[in-house]
């Protein structure tokens, strides 16, 4: 049927009236862009090797699709005058709103269609402004929409869609391509030689054009969807169809339609740190612009992941485009470690060796680990008690104690070691799972020796204290008078006293201390030595020797000291003066040595009198002190442990 408008003056009056009513407020248009984003944007997890966690994600999309390229496509036949006036008056505000809701990354174009007929003034299809960011130019293009006659229904919008999908305008790469069509009549099919199927096919071609169709209610049109064409185009292009719209609501419905276009939300995982993997319950989700897409995100740690902090970034894209919706994932893999322990053995019972097992950082889930001892140089049962078990760290705990009893004894032995090893951890990696327990032997590494002999002629010793010499022990021997001889030499002595002493008496009862010692002392009142034709007389003869633990730069060490004295000496009745130092007196029968000292690295022997002859030797008042190591410490001494 024919559709005629009431003339140019009528159209101008309608436009003027619509502009005067300031419909922008009635449209409810907002220029501020919704933020959009992903929630939560920051994820911080603590997971052990092989563990995983599910994080529920919500992606809030912007009110309009990303980077929209929108072509306003108007039916400019005669009955569409009021609708065109409404769009023309509000197009700028629609463009500003869309731009504001797309981070100012929106462009627009304008086109129109009528029908194919014999009237050369009719416009089957025309682009009034190619896609541009210049909104003023688009508004000018919309101003070129002139209402013309339509001789009948349907119109030629199938052809218009085909043309806009095949190069009539120039869309940007990577944008959301949208055609906002409004009209009141169905379309010829085919239209301009193009069928509806062909038009839909090119609309859907990569990357696809979404069509918003606004069916305007007029008294003349047969309805945009009277043949089901509008619904089909909207459904198959992912667009929107809004029907039965009043002429004064067209701009608002165009905006609403753009905001109802479905968008596809999908995660794009940036390269994650090694040992992290992400998966999602579905690869993407389709929602209306401004809607929320929900995902269940699974974060998994590799089974052999070492302790450390790992990161992953997810770009939640809309229609394959980054919107800056970045999710930052941080995963802490805690680590378990055990320290080394040193413990003094003790002489009896047991001493606890307390190992600390540490977890860093703390976990918000339980962490378990097994521990067990093993021999090093120490032996379970004799040096320590074998121990094993499991530790559980409750959420927030960072330390646990493993106690191994160390068995004390009195046996001197080298320092020994045993091990405590961690294994089978759950909820954590093992950073240092090998603990070494060192048992410090506190038994002395040696003994004192001491010996005191008052007279020795050849192999005869009538008065001796601690004859075996080692180990040193308390002994005291006294004799009033002795007469001994060997060949042509004879000895007569009075008031003989031999003494040995050790402090403390029992070296195994305590560790080394300053002042510990072994000592020997020999004294006699007088002695007469007759050798051949010579006589040597000595009075008040005394010697002493000692080994004592004294403090040094490296701790306690044994110190050897000795001294001797002879108060009176006469040879064949002739007095001889001697001091405290060593003196050698030649005799017919040999040499008489006074205050004779013999030392080695571990001993001192002090002889008050030593007569050396070709026949035999005579020693008067000999004291000896020395020290020895043990079989475990051959080079040791009693001042060390």
Of 147-151, 472-476, 599-603, minimum mean pLDDT range: 147-151
Which of 317-326, 343-352, 476-485 shows the highest mean pLDDT?
Answer: 476-485
pLDDT of residue 32 exceeding 50, the answer is no
What's the confidence (pLDDT) of residue 620?
97
* 173 HSE (CA, 13 A, CB side): 0
- CATH number for 38-62+264-333 (one of 2.60.40.10, 3.10.20.600, 2.40.30.10, 3.90.180.10): it is 2.60.40.10
What's the confidence (pLDDT) of residue 414?
86
What's the confidence (pLDDT) of residue 21?
33
Q: What is the mean pLDDT of residues 529-557?
A: 94
Instruction: Kindly list the domain boundaries of the chain, sorted by start residue.
Output: 8-30+65-260, 38-62+264-333, 335-440, 446-629
What's the confidence (pLDDT) of residue 580?
80
- Alpha-carbon distance of 565 to 542, in angstroms, equals 5
- pLDDT-derived band at 16 (thresholds 50, 70, 90) equals very low
Q: What is the mean pLDDT of residues 602-628?
A: 95
- pLDDT-derived band at 34 (thresholds 50, 70, 90) equals very low
Q: 228-274 pLDDT, tens per residue?
A: 999 999 999 999 999 999 999 999 999 999 999 999 999 999 889 99
- pLDDT-derived band at 2 (thresholds 50, 70, 90) equals very low
pLDDT of residue 94 exceeding 70, the answer is yes
Question: Which is nearest to 210 in space by CA: 183, 187, 233, 226?
Answer: 233
SS (H, E, C) 253-294: HHHHHHHHCEEEEEEEECCCCCCEEEEECCCCEEEECCCEEE
What's the confidence (pLDDT) of residue 118?
57
Of 45-59, 144-158, 570-584, minimum mean pLDDT range: 144-158
pTM attached to this predicted model:
0.69
Task: Give the full edge-to-edge strand order of the sheet including 603-613.
Answer: 464-465, 446-457, 617-629, 603-613, 590-599, 583-586
What's the confidence (pLDDT) of residue 582?
94
pLDDT of residue 117 exceeding 80, the answer is no
pLDDT of residue 362 exceeding 60, the answer is yes
State the Cα angle at 144 between 141 and 149, rounded to 5°.
140
- pLDDT-derived band at 469 (thresholds 50, 70, 90) equals very high
Helices (H) and strands (E) in the chain, counts: 8, 36
Of 115-129, 325-339, 475-489, minimum mean pLDDT range: 115-129
| Residues 454, 520 contacting (CB under 8 angstroms) | no
Enter the DSSP assignment of 99: H
Q: What is the mean pLDDT of residues 87-100?
A: 96
- pLDDT-derived band at 641 (thresholds 50, 70, 90) equals confident
Q: 435-465 pLDDT, tens per residue?
A: 999 998 878 889 999 999 999 998 899 999 9
- pLDDT-derived band at 483 (thresholds 50, 70, 90) equals very high
What's the confidence (pLDDT) of residue 292?
96
Peptide bond between residue 207 and the one before it cis (omega within 30 degrees of 0):
yes
**The domains spanning 38-62+264-333 and 335-440 adopt the same CATH topology:** yes
- pLDDT-derived band at 14 (thresholds 50, 70, 90) equals very low
- pLDDT-derived band at 149 (thresholds 50, 70, 90) equals low
What's the confidence (pLDDT) of residue 347?
81
Per cent of the chain over pLDDT 90 is: 81
Distances (CA, A) of 59 to 45, 240, 267, 356, 412: 20, 22, 10, 45, 73
Per cent of the chain over pLDDT 70 is: 93
What's the confidence (pLDDT) of residue 348?
86
Output the average pLDDT for the chain: 91
pLDDT of residue 13 exceeding 60, the answer is no
What's the confidence (pLDDT) of residue 214?
98
What's the confidence (pLDDT) of residue 151?
55
What's the confidence (pLDDT) of residue 416?
95
* 75 HSE (CA, 13 A, CB side): 34
| Residues 455, 483 contacting (CB under 8 angstroms) | no
Pull the structure tokens for residue 581. 């130092």
Question: Can you point out the beta strands (E) in 504-602?
Answer: 517-531, 534-552, 555-571, 574-576, 583-586, 590-599
CATH code for the part of the protein at 8-30+65-260: 3.40.50.410
- Alpha-carbon distance of 242 to 213, in angstroms, equals 6
Q: Which residue bears the tokens 């046996």?
A: 411
Superfamily of domain 335-440: CalX-beta domain (2.60.40.2030)
What's the confidence (pLDDT) of residue 227?
96
What's the confidence (pLDDT) of residue 29?
37
Helix, strand and coil content of the chain, in percent to the nearest 5, comes to 15, 50, 35
Which uninterrupted H or E stretch holds 164?
A: helix 157-165
- Alpha-carbon distance of 452 to 520, in angstroms, equals 5
What's the confidence (pLDDT) of residue 148?
77
| Residues 272, 278 contacting (CB under 8 angstroms) | yes
Enter the DSSP assignment of 514: T
What's the confidence (pLDDT) of residue 26?
36
């Amino acid at each position: 049927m024919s559709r005629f408008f009431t003339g140019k003056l009528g159209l101008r009056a309608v436009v003027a009236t619509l502009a005067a009513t300031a419909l922008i407020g009635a449209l409810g248009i907002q220029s501020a862009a919704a933020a959009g984003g992903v929630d939560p944007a920051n994820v911080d997890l603590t997971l052990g090797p092989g563990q995983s966690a599910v994080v529920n994600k919500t992606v809030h999309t912007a009110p309009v699709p990303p980077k929209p390229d929108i072509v306003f496509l108007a039916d400019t036949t005669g009955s569409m005058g009021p609708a065109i006036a409404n769009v023309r008056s509000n197009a700028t505000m629609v463009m500003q709103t869309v731009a504001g809701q797309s981070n100012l990354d929106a462009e627009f174009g304008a086109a129109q269609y009528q029908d194919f007929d014999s009237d050369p003034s009719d416009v089957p299809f025309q682009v009034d402004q190619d896609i541009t960011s210049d909104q003023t130019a688009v508004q000018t293009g919309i101003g070129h929409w002139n209402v013309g006659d339509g001789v009948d229904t349907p119109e030629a919008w199938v052809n218009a869609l085909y043309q806009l999908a095949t190069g009539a305008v120039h869309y940007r790469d990577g944008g959301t391509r949208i055609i906002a069509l409004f009209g009141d009549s169905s379309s010829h099919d085919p239209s301009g030689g193009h069928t509806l199927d062909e038009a839909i096919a090119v609309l859907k071609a990569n990357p696809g054009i979404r069509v918003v169709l606004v069916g305007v209610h007029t008294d003349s049109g047969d309805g945009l969807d009277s043949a089901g064409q509008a619904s089909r185009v909207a459904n198959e292009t992912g667009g929107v169809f809004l029907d039965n719209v009043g002429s004064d609501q067209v701009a608002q419905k165009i905006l609403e339609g753009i905001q109802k276009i479905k968008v596809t939300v999908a995660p794009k995982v940036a390269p994650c740190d090694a040992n992290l993997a992400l998966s999602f319950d579905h690869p993407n989700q389709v929602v209306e612009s401004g809607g929320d897409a929900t995902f269940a995100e699974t974060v998994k740690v590799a089974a052999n992941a070492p302790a450390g902090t790992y990161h992953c970034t997810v770009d939640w894209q809309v229609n394959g485009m980054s919107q800056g919706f970045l999710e930052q994932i941080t995963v802490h893999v805690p680590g378990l470690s055990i320290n080394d322990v040193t413990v003094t053995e003790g002489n009896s019972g047991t001493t606890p060796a307390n190992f600390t097992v540490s977890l860093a950082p703390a976990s918000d889930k339980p962490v378990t680990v097994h521990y067990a001892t093993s021999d090093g140089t120490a032996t379970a049962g004799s040096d320590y008690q074998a121990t094993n078990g499991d530790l559980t760290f409750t959420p927030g705990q960072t330390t646990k104690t493993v106690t191994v009893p160390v068995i004390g004894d009195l046996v001197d032995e080298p320092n020994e070691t045993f091990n405590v090893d961690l294994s089978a951890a759950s909820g954590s990696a093992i950073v240092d799972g090998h603990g070494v327990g060192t048992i410090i032997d506190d038994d002395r590494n040696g003994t004192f020796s001491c010996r005191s002999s008052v007279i020795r002629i050849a192999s005869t010793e009538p008065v001796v204290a601690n004859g075996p010499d080692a180990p040193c022990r308390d002994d005291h021997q006294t004799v009033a008078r002795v007469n001994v001889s060997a060949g042509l030499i004879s000895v007569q002595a009075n008031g003989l006293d031999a003494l040995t002493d050790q402090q403390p008496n029992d070296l195994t009862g305590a560790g080394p201390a300053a002042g510990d010692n072994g000592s020997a002392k020999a004294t006699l009142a007088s002695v007469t030595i007759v050798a051949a034709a010579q006589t040597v007389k000595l009075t008040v003869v005394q010697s002493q020797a000692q080994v004592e633990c004294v403090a040094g730069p490296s701790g306690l060490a044994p110190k050897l000291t000795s001294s001797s004295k002879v108060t009176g000496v006469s040879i064949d009745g002739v007095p001889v003066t001697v001091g405290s130092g060593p003196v050698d007196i030649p005799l017919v029968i040999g040499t008489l040595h006074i205050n004779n000292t013999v030392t080695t690295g571990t001993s001192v022997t002090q002889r008050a009198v030593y007569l050396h002859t070709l026949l035999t030797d005579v020693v008067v008042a000999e004291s000896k002190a020395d020290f020895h190591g043990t079989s475990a410490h051959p080079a040791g001494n009693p001042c060390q442990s």
